Amino acid sequence: KAGVTQTPRYLIKTRGQQVTLSCSPISGHRSVSWYQQTPGQGLQFLFEYFSETQRNKGNFPGRFSGRQFSNSRSEMNVSTLELGDSALYLCASSHTFRANTEAFFGQGTRLTVV
Amino acid sequence: AQTVTQSQPEMSVQEAETVTLSCTYDTSENNYYLFWYKQPPSRQMILVIRQEAYKQQNATENRFSVNFQKAAKSFSLKISDSQLGDTAMYFCAFIKPTSNTGNQFYFGTGTSLTVIP
């Protein structure tokens, strides 16, 4: 079956703009989590959605937001982009939110803010 | 707070040899899950191996095995018979299975492994 699909793969934005990233989970998976990966900070948890509800949120400013649709696809939005938002954004899908279910990652969206 | 430490930023190993990647973690939880993920240049994180903290037996997956020392909070990955395709960044990760954290991974900073032909 198809894996986790993230679009777009690459994105270049200007400081101050906003951006929306998309994640389509594996069919049947209802949990989607987002992570920011940077060389300096490593992988940091952004938020997790399950059945259209945000279940958990990491320590990021309010400029970072997300949502999940009824088909489990998720979007994350970053407003008022800063240079430090340049990163690889990864999403992971799993069948449930329980920790013993395997999470599958997408290939990420590489965001560059100039 | 949960922290995961990988003290080896870079490692290399000759093809067919064995290499061990180190990971330590800090948690006050008694029940949790530990993982090793591999991230090749394609950027996709791939699960290598998983260990449940309540299981004393070390997990193994073909050429990959772990040495899980719960008291020492240590979780090292051993790769036997290293292959060129093992070249990747390896991340150690932790999940605590409580109802309010779900699938929130805590990742280490990664170890870049290069397999030399």
Q: Give A16-75 pLDDT, tens digit per residue.
A: 999 999 999 999 999 999 999 998 889 999 999 999 999 889 999 999 999 999 999 999
Q: Is B110 an interface residue toward A (CB < 8 Å)?
A: yes
Instruction: Name chain A contacts of B45, Cβ cutoff 8 Å.
Output: 90, 92, 105
Amino acid (one-letter) located at A46: L
For residue B72, what are its two tokens?
């020492």
For residue B15, what are its two tokens?
């093809």
pLDDT the model gives residue B43? 87
Closest CA of chain B from A36, distance in Å:
11
Mean confidence (pLDDT) of chain B: 92
Q: Give B93-116 pLDDT, tens digit per residue.
A: 998 776 565 668 899 999 999 999
CB A65 within 8 A of CB A76: yes
CB B78 within 8 A of CB B62: no
Residue of A nearest to B39 (CA): A107
CB B103 within 8 A of CB B95: yes
Preferred mutation among A23, A30, A43 to probe B, highest tally of B CBs within 10 A? A43
Instruction: Name chain B contacts of A98, Cβ cutoff 8 Å.
Output: 97, 102-103
pLDDT the model gives residue B99? 59
Distance CA A88, CA A108 (A): 6
Closest CA of chain A from B50, distance in Å:
9
What are the phi and psi torsion angles at B104 (to 5°)?
Answer: -80, 110
Amino acid (one-letter) located at A100: N
**A78 burial type by CB count under 10 A (0-12 exposed, 13-18 middle, 19+ buried):** buried
Instruction: Name chain A contacts of B47, Cβ cutoff 8 Å.
Output: 102-104
Q: Give A59-95 pLDDT, tens digit per residue.
A: 999 999 999 999 999 999 999 999 999 999 999 999 8
Dihedral sign of CA atoms A54, A73, A89, B90 in order: positive
